[in-house]
């Protein structure tokens, strides 16, 4: 193995194992410790230090009698920064893609009217999309658009980024957003869409995003598979 003098040996092993993890599927196993010793020609202690760091980063789970199980990579958004799903994924070296499931004009539910501040709205555009990273499913987006936005069905069906679309079409940029985050259990419909089991844990986010003109530009319900997503907060005394 090529030695980088400015980096501890176990860190170098960790870097190589990170690539292995990226190229693998959740649930697969890393090679046993003795194999990793032979592959990289290092001590067992060095291998264990590298594996300890990967486990602390929640990238693997070490199970006695089983081995090092590769976990689904979690995305960890900054609570104080408004970012899109695409930006979150790219920041973590993951390629984001979307799969549009539904585009139609609907009568909005009461919660959407309330969050959008438009109690008298009768119909608006609704877009349902799966959010994927490196071809793995992370979340379901249920996007409700203000009624004064004029879109064609094809624009919404083919869009890569909603923020990119409204920036190009209306010269609007998101300024800030209000979010409510709760826990949720998968019902039969959501379980089928996300390919999880009924009652599996999910994270539900309702977001209302506003433009620089302080007008709402979207209400979106985001449903994350819990094992793919985590919020981390630093608190100060």
Q: Which pLDDT belongs to residue 73?
A: 64
The last residue of a domain, from among 22, 47, 70: 70
How many independent structural domains does the chain possess? 2
Residues in contact with 7: Cβ distance below 8 Å, sequence separation at least 6, in sequence order: 15
Task: Tell me the pTM.
Answer: 0.67
Over range 22-51, report the average pLDDT: 88
Q: Same domain, yes or no, for 42 and 140?
A: no
Q: Which pLDDT belongs to residue 81?
A: 57
The span from the CA of 189 to the CA of 211, in Å, is 33
Q: Which pLDDT belongs to residue 230?
A: 72
Determine the structural domain holding residue 31 and report its residue range: 9-70
The last residue of a domain, from among 26, 41, 70: 70
Q: Same domain, yes or no, for 218 and 178?
A: yes
Q: Which pLDDT belongs to residue 106?
A: 95
Reported as a single tens digit per residue, the pLDDT across 178-218 is 989 999 999 999 999 999 999 999 999 999 999 877 688 99
Q: Same domain, yes or no, for 191 and 91?
A: yes
Top pLDDT among 5 and 19 is at 19
Report the half-sphere exposure of 233 (CA within 13 A, side-chain side): 5
Q: Which pLDDT belongs to residue 158?
A: 92
């Amino acid at each position: 193995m090529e030695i980088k003098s400015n980096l501890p040996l176990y860190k170098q092993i960790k870097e190589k194992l990170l690539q292995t993890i990226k190229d693998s599927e959740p649930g697969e196993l890393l090679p046993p410790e003795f194999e990793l010793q032979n592959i990289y020609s290092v001590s067992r202690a060095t291998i264990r230090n590298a594996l300890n760091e990967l486990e602390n980063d929640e990238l693997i789970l070490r199970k006695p009698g089983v081995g090092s199980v590769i976990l689904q990579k979690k995305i960890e958004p900054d609570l104080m920064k408004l970012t899109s799903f695409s930006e979150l994924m790219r920041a973590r070296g993951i390629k984001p893609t979307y799969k549009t499931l539904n585009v139609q004009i609907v009568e909005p539910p009461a919660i959407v009217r309330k969050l959008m501040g438009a109690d008298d709205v009768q119909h608006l555009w609704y877009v349902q999309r799966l959010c994927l990273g490196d071809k793995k499913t992370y979340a379901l987006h249920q996007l409700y658009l203000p009624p004064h936005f004029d879109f064609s069905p094809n624009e919404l069906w083919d869009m890569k980024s909603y923020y990119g679309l409204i920036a190009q079409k209306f010269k609007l940029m998101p300024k800030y957003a209000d979010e409510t985050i709760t826990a949720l259990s998968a019902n039969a419909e959501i379980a089928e869409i996300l390919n999880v089991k009924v009652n599996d844990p999910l994270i539900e986010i309702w977001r209302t995003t506003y433009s620089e003109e302080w007008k709402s530009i979207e209400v979106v319900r985001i449903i994350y598979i819990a094992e793919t997503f985590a919020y981390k907060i630093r608190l100060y005394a």
